[in-house]
Amino acid sequence: MDWKAFWNNRAEMFPERLAQVGRGDGSGYAEEAERFEKTLNHIFSTLKVEEGMPVLDLCCGNGLISHALAEKGAEVLGIDFAEKLLKIAKKKAPKNARFIQGDALDLEGVVEEKFDRILLHFSLQYFTKEKEVRTLFKSMANLCSPGGMILVSDIPDSAKVGAYYTTPKDKLRRMWHKFKGQDDMGKFWKRKQLVKICSELGLSAEALDQPETLPYAHYRFDLIIRP
SS3 call for 55: strand
- Whether 85 and 22 have beta carbons less than 8 Å apart is answered as no
- Whether 58 and 126 have beta carbons less than 8 Å apart is answered as no
- Strands across the sheet containing 220-226: 97-101, 75-80, 54-58, 115-121, 144-156, 220-226, 204-209
Using CB under 6 A, pick the residue from 121, 187, 191, 220 that binds ligand SAM.
121
Size of the site for ligand SAM (CB under 6 A): 20
Would you count residue 208 as binding ligand SAM (CB under 6 A)? no
Q: How far apart are CA 77 and CA 215, in angstroms?
A: 26
Would you count residue 80 as binding ligand SAM (CB under 6 A)? yes
The residue (of 106 and 204) whose beta carbon lies closer to ligand SAM is 106
Would you count residue 105 as binding ligand SAM (CB under 6 A)? yes
Considering only residues 59 through 78, tell me which ones interact with ligand SAM, judged by CB under 6 A. Answer: 59-61, 64-65
Would you count residue 191 as binding ligand SAM (CB under 6 A)? no
Residues in touch with ligand SAM (CB under 6 A)? 3, 7, 21-22, 59-61, 64-65, 80-82, 85, 103-105, 121-123, 126
